[in-house]
Amino acid sequence: MRSAVTVSLTASAVLAGGLFAGQAHAATPAPSITAPGGFVMNNGTGTTLYGKAADTRRSTGSTTKIMTAKVVLSQPNLNLDAKVTIQKAYSDYIVAKNASSARLIVGDKVTVRQLLYGLMLPSGCDAAYALADKFGSGTTRDARVKSFIGKMNDEARRLGLRNTHFDSFDGIGSGQNYSTPRDLTKIASSAMKNSTFRTVVKTKSTSQKVTTKSGGYRYMLWTNTNKLLSTYSGAIGVKTGSGPQAKYCLVFAATRGTKTVIGTVLGAPSEANRAADVKKLLDYGFTR
């Protein structure tokens, strides 16, 4: 009789414990963020952890460059040490667009790997142009750039992303460069499967030795615009973005233990708001 009572009490305790645990889990409120769009998922399982207007199309700013890098890294027989000569057109573009720059110097020979650092750390639109020119197809620069942007859209379709379209290699488009928090997160999640991409986007700063036009060399010093790498424990990437239409954006990822949380905020009203939003979303993601 005593044994039966014990079993009954134990069962009741287990049920009660499960009930209370469920209540405690449910009591964790979803955070309120200032950005109009946000999305977070478990990178290992693909499970959605948070969404706010997750499928609403918005301007993406330089988070576009995640796809730029992904297309480059998906090229068959890619040689990361192949050298690209920096053209005057790339620097002219930076000046004309008042765009973020890796400060590439005309005539220098820079490797594809180095261009990826220049693309993702200082968010160099000149590096993006160089990569589009290198990996697009065609007999003219304009044709090669158009071809490369086509590859970006082909990749978006391959990933099944219906709310993403690119009209530029760097996010400076003509109004038809858009994505959503969910789509950008999926692009980044796919890109993070590439070891070179992971290495680049988690790098806080780098010094790269490049060959000058005269055959000498110089060092290019690049610092990552993603301050999350220095302010959030476990941060491993991914890419900032900003602009008049895009406002302040960030595709972010962090790992703690065996869990990686990855997500996106689009359209935050300020850099400080963006940082606060991302911290809230990561903290919340790690509790789910």
Q: Is 123 annotated in the active site?
A: yes
Which position among 59, 100, 101, 123 bears the catalytic label?
123
> Is 247 a known active-site residue?
no
User: Per the annotation, does 239 bind a ligand?
Assistant: yes
Among residues 234, 272, 235, 241, which one has the least CA distance to residue 33?
272
Give yes or no: 168 in active site. Answer: no
Q: Nearest-CA neighbor of 287 among 264, 261, 268?
A: 261
Torsion of CA 272, 273, 275, 279, to 10 degrees: 140
Q: Which of 65, 186, 247, 280 is catalytic?
A: 65
- Catalytic residue, from 59, 62, 179, 190: name it: 62
Partner residues linked to 261 by β-bridges: 42, 254
Q: Identify the bridge partners of residue 255 per DSSP, sorted by sequence position.
A: 260
- Decide if 86 contacts 210 (C-beta within 8 A): no
Q: At what angle do helices 125-135 and 141-158 cross, to 10 degrees?
A: 90
Give Cβ neighbours of residue 155 (< 8 Å, ≥ 6 apart).
67, 70, 71, 74
Residue 79, φ and ψ in degrees, nearest 5: -110, 105
Report the binding-site residues for substrate. Answer: 239
Report the binding-site residues. Answer: 239
Provide the annotated active-site residues. Answer: 62, 65, 123
